[in-house]
């Protein structure tokens, strides 16, 4: 090793991630003399020894469609599962080597036009649907399969997370432009798709809190929020008091998505697995126009893929939601295509 080459390598508690500090004058020498380990080279940090695509362990994936749009007033998001399937989700997952079964869609009641201004915001219908999602997801998880839920609005997470957190603690990664941490007392709109995270930690509508196993499904210490940039005033106060870890878009701008992703995985070092719920409005509207509540200044195309890739590298992703794809608002199926691409990155697809 050349004199003066200062290298500090700290291998953290999950595979293939190192913190490196290399004297900039000797980077070229480090690259020339690097010795391969598993994943990253331990000196230069390159990806040359990363497993080739297809060498990752094949997963047995069950796709569960939840074409629900009761959680908000804008119609069209119920067509999301169909758009994702149309984009070739199943065949492209199989091309990665995964064994995929499409379990079909959870039965959704017809939305009654006479109740469009319902004061209860369809909480009864949403509870019924989320209980069905919980029942289906639990059966899939009990068979040792990877549940991949296709929404639908983000209210479905009340059932999806409950189903995968039934038997042991799981981490929860909430990627979203919004907090979804309101309760009926703090929500300006009253729409349920702005409340599922609160319900999952045991706060809000009793009916939603008690979907599946009654009470809290995930402890706030085991929740990481990423990409938020549109939070209601009371919701901000609730998040600050909750103990949840949150990386807003300012944090992503300041630290970079690689650091954020690495910190997220480290947060769950004590857990066997985590659940990822990806709301497509977390992406910048330039990249994902087909969402009901777009907010400028979101996660970029490459930032989103890198986040998925690092989460995949951790080996702890055990289940996933894709929500809020609205084909009516989309442009040439751009948002559904990106959602499928991000799912593939989360499930092992890589550049090298």
Measured in Å, how far apart are the chain's first and last C-alpha atoms? 28
User: What letter does residue 112 receive in the DSSP assignment?
Assistant: P
Alpha helix ranges (H) inside 119-191: 123-142, 157-164
Active-site residue list: 154, 176, 178, 180, 193, 279, 281, 324
Write the Ramachandran bin of 60: left for phi over 0, alpha for psi from -120 to 50, otherwise beta: beta
Burial classification of residue 20, based on how many CB atoms lie within 10 Å of its CB (0-12 exposed, 13-18 middle, 19 or more buried): middle
Q: What does the alpha-carbon distance between residue 329 and residue 342 come to, in Å, rounded to a whole number?
A: 20
* 118 token code pair: 């319902």
Q: Say if CB 220 and CB 246 are below 8 A apart.
A: no
H or E element, residue 63: strand 60-66
Q: Among candidates 151, 180, 126, which has minimal Cα distance to 65? A: 151
Cβ proximity of 155 and 66 under 8 Å: no
């Amino acid at each position: 090793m050349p004199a003066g080459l200062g290298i500090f390598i700290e291998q953290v508690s999950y595979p293939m991630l190192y913190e490196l500090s290399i004297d900039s004058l000797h980077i070229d020498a480090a690259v020339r003399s690097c010795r391969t380990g598993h994943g990253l080279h331990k000196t230069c940090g390159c990806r040359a020894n990363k497993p080739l695509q297809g060498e990752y362990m094949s997963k047995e994936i069950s796709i569960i469609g939840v074409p629900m749009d009761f959680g908000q007033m804008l119609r069209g998001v119920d067509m999301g599962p169909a758009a994702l399937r149309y984009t070739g989700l199943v065949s492209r997952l199989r091309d990665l080597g995964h064994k995929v079964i499409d379990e079909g869609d959870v039965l959704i009641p017809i939305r009654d036009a006479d109740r469009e201004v319902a004061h209860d915001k369809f909480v009864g219908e949403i509870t019924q649907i989320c209980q069905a999602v919980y029942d289906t997801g639990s059966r899939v998880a009990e068979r040792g399969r990877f549940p991949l839920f296709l929404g639908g609005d983000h209210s479905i997470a009340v059932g999806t997370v409950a189903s995968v957190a039934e038997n042991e603690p799981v981490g929860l990664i909430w990627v979203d432009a919004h907090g979804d941490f309101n309760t009926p007392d703090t929500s300006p709109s009253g729409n349920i798709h702005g409340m599922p995270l609160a319900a999952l930690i045991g706060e809000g509508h009793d009916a939603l809190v008690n979907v599946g196993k009654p009470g809290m499904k995930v402890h706030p210490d085991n929740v990481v929020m990423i990409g938020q940039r549109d939070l209601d005033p009371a919701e901000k106060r609730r998040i600050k008091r909750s103990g949840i870890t949150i990386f807003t878009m300012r944090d992503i701008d300041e630290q970079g998505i690689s650091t954020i992703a690495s910190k997220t995985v480290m947060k769950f070092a004590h857990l066997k697995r985590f659940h990822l719920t990806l709301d497509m409005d977390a992406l910048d509207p330039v990249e994902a126009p087909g969402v009901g509540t777009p907010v400028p200044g979101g996660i970029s195309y490459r930032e989103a893929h890198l986040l998925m890739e690092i989460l995949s590298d951790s080996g702890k992703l055990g289940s996933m939601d894709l929500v809020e794809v609205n084909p009516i608002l989309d442009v040439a199926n751009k948002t559904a295509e990106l959602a499928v691409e991000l799912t593939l990155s989360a499930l092992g697809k890589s550049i090298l």
